Amino acid sequence: MNFVQVAIPSPLRQTFTYKNQSKCDLVGKRVLVEFGRRKLVGVVTSQSEEFNEKYKLKQINEVLDDIPLFDKQLLKQIVSISDYYMHPIGIVFESFIPSFLRKAKPQTVLEKYVIKTEFDEIANNLHDLTKDQTKALHSIKAKDSGEILLSGITSSGKTEVYKHFIKDLINKGKSALVLVPEIFLTPQIFNSFQKTFGNKVLLNHSGLTAIQRIKVWLASKNKEPKIVIGTRSSIFLPIKNLGAIIFDEEHDQSYKQQDGFRYDAREISRILYCAKARIVYASATPSLNNINRANNNEIEHCVLDKRISDAPIPKISIHQTTQHKTTGGISNELLKKIAENEKAGHQTLILLNRRGYAPIFMCNSCGWIAKGNCCDATLVLHQNVQRLKCHRCESVWGIPKTCPDCGSHDFTYKGLGTQQVEELLREELPHANIVRIDRDAVSGKTRREESTTNIKDTKSKIFIGTQLLAKGHDFRNVSLVIVLNMDFGLFGADIHMQEQTAQLIIQVAGRAGRSGIENNVYLQTRVSDHPLFNLIQTGSYHKIAKELLVERKKLNLAPYINLMYLKAEDANPSRLRKFLVDAKKELSQEDLEIYGPFDSPVTKIGFKHRMFCIIQSSKKQKMLEVLSKFTKNTEKSKKEISTWVIDIDPINAV
């Protein structure tokens, strides 16, 4: 074979031709090649005897693999993934390669990282299933492949169902992949599975070192039955004899990558494994998309509608702040309930989806508000480190001594953050055990493990945190949940906001009363008469989803129509708008609806202005074909714009 096509990690949506001096079959192998002035590691996707173009070709510098990393079927699937997401093929290939192998290291160096393990026997410590759980398990086990939605109210025993399912797979010599939405959740799930399945359980996420991840990657390739617990990117692991993929909290936004290669792990699983493994979507608050697919019999559906041990469903009450006096942003009546709950020896969970101390730092004299020059977002006050931080680009600023507009020294802050709530409660309840859980508090392995230990502990304490608190944790002694400042999730142009707000509130409410104790949930709000709050008070996500789907169907919105966004950013706002206006003209045709361009919810990040167009169609295949043609034409014409991307199956407009 004289010529090969190589996928190289570059922004260009094509492969590149090189001469193959070795005359060996290189398809699926990594090679080192010269690309411009750099040497890069690429993957050979195909080969041929002839090359008709008159270009002067470079030769492959080095063949890095003796055995192909990718077989021909997987190569085809990766190409189809690249085509579907309209993303450069070399970058898509890179997602399947661990960071350790993205460097020019020969395959032979991997031998010292292979873990040879005598696998433990499966412990007989699984709980007996209820009648409803057994019925759900039989539905999942009925087929070896295809998709099924496992929906069940919080604390209904969904995890126990798929543990029994996985045990059955392991006994058949098959492996399983359990995906969780956040790194913060991995210690809890990993420890739980390890108690039952011993060293058959592997852990994979971006917080591990490159060496740790290559060991997991190599272990995934062996034929022994195993369970991998991991976050979104674990979908790219080459797990042998994979029998099932479980999406825990399947509704979570974290399964969709929000920058670079904007893949959805659920869609990747369908492309790679739907025909040969069981894909289980588990959630108490399933995505409207999957509920609609289940309603249309596109996927199977099983339901758990009772809590284990008949634990009471949380009672949700609306607490109107305009009718109560507040201290530091929390109603005095709710502060009293927190104190009573702490005195009774129970735990309280306070959800405020805003980290930091205060979201606005301003001058009391002239009204100047602190903003960074890089992003169109206010700088958040972090009192504990005496810094202002941008939560968009994570830049850090010193607190000014004088106002840059009027020279005053009189500063104040507005709004509420988790750090401020923590400070308030430490003043009000000096003897209480208060634990804050947000990205600032749980960054790093040690902090994550400390937080997991705190969650397991049933002693009286008060948890304060962001949405991390709502994601799948098994609090055993929480009897009071207070949700602060969720009003922003009820308004806005993004169709996903109300769905995501309802999911978050129902999920955090579900942390209460899991061990059978009496429980109450209070939503502190200024808009108590909002229709969504009336639905949330029922505590039934089924009713909420049904109503939201009726509304979307009337308006012909997703999931009843296919939705994609053309997102773009550039330092020059005029050039940015012109690009999107021209794109809209090119894309406008029969069967496609194009709206915009609109400013993004955050109009500037990292010195670049951001805008987007909405693209809708009832004919997805035609939509993809038109957008694919647009992508190729735009690449050839080399538009003078910093960045643009087609966001397939988007979850927000940011």
Q: Give alpha helix (H) positions in 86-127.
A: 89-95
Q: What is the pTM of this model?
A: 0.93
In this structure, is residue 126 part of a structural domain?
Answer: no
Task: State the average pLDDT for the chain.
Answer: 91
**CATH number of the CATH domain containing 92:** 3.40.1440.60
Which residues have a Cβ under 8 Å from the Cβ of 582 and sit 6 or more positions away? none
| CA separation for the pair 360, 414 (Å, rounded) | 5
Same domain, 400 and 252: no
Same domain, 92 and 37: yes
Position 25 confidence tier, pLDDT thresholds 50, 70, 90: very high
Same domain, 315 and 260: no
Same domain, 341 and 384: no
In this structure, is residue 118 part of a structural domain?
Answer: no
| 514, 537, 554 - which closes a domain | 554
Position 514 confidence tier, pLDDT thresholds 50, 70, 90: low
In this structure, is residue 125 part of a structural domain?
Answer: no
What confidence score (pLDDT) does residue 527 get?
Answer: 87
What confidence score (pLDDT) does residue 116 get?
Answer: 76
What confidence score (pLDDT) does residue 482 get?
Answer: 95
Position 451 confidence tier, pLDDT thresholds 50, 70, 90: confident
What confidence score (pLDDT) does residue 22 get?
Answer: 83
In this structure, is residue 628 part of a structural domain?
Answer: yes
Asked whether the bond before 559 is cis by omega within 30 degrees of 0, the reply is yes
pLDDT over threshold 90, residue 449: no
Same domain, 43 and 176: no
In this structure, is residue 598 part of a structural domain?
Answer: yes
Q: How many structural domains does the chain have? A: 5
* Highest mean pLDDT pick, 91-95, 123-127, 488-492: 91-95
Mean pLDDT of 485-503: 84
Helix axes 620-637, 573-587, angle to 10 degrees: 130
| 112, 147, 167 - which closes a domain | 112
Helix axes 541-555, 288-295, angle to 10 degrees: 80
325-383 tens-digit pLDDT = 889 889 999 999 999 999 999 999 999 989 999 999 999 999 999 998 889 889 999 99
Query: Is pLDDT larger for residue 309 or for residue 331?
Result: 331
Mean pLDDT of 105-123: 84
Same domain, 317 and 299: no
In this structure, is residue 654 part of a structural domain?
Answer: no
pLDDT over threshold 70, residue 319: yes
pLDDT over threshold 70, residue 44: yes
| 278, 309, 340 - which closes a domain | 309
pLDDT over threshold 90, residue 641: no
Same domain, 548 and 491: yes
71-107 tens-digit pLDDT = 999 999 999 999 999 999 999 999 999 999 999 999 9
3-state class of 434 per DSSP?
A: strand
- What are 109-117's contacts with CB under 8 Å, separation 24+? 110/214, 110/218, 113/211, 113/214, 113/215, 113/218, 114/215, 114/218, 114/219, 115/215, 115/218, 115/219, 117/199
**CATH number of the CATH domain containing 322:** 3.40.50.300
Same domain, 482 and 521: yes
pLDDT over threshold 70, residue 516: no
The lowest-confidence range among 418-422, 470-474, 562-566 is 470-474
Mean pLDDT of 162-179: 96
Position 162 confidence tier, pLDDT thresholds 50, 70, 90: very high
| CA separation for the pair 464, 65 (Å, rounded) | 50
Which residues have a Cβ under 8 Å from the Cβ of 264 and sit 6 or more positions away? 255, 256, 257, 648, 649
Same domain, 57 and 203: no
Which residues have a Cβ under 8 Å from the Cβ of 12 and sit 6 or more positions away? 88, 90, 635
* Highest mean pLDDT pick, 8-22, 89-103, 308-322: 89-103
Structure tokens at 613: 């167009």
Percent of the chain with pLDDT over 70: 98
In this structure, is residue 474 part of a structural domain?
Answer: yes
In this structure, is residue 231 part of a structural domain?
Answer: yes
Range of the domain at 593: 562-648
pLDDT over threshold 80, residue 198: yes
Same domain, 405 and 451: no
Same domain, 409 and 523: no
Same domain, 155 and 266: yes
pLDDT over threshold 90, residue 56: no
**CATH number of the CATH domain containing 625:** 3.30.70.260
| CA separation for the pair 563, 284 (Å, rounded) | 25
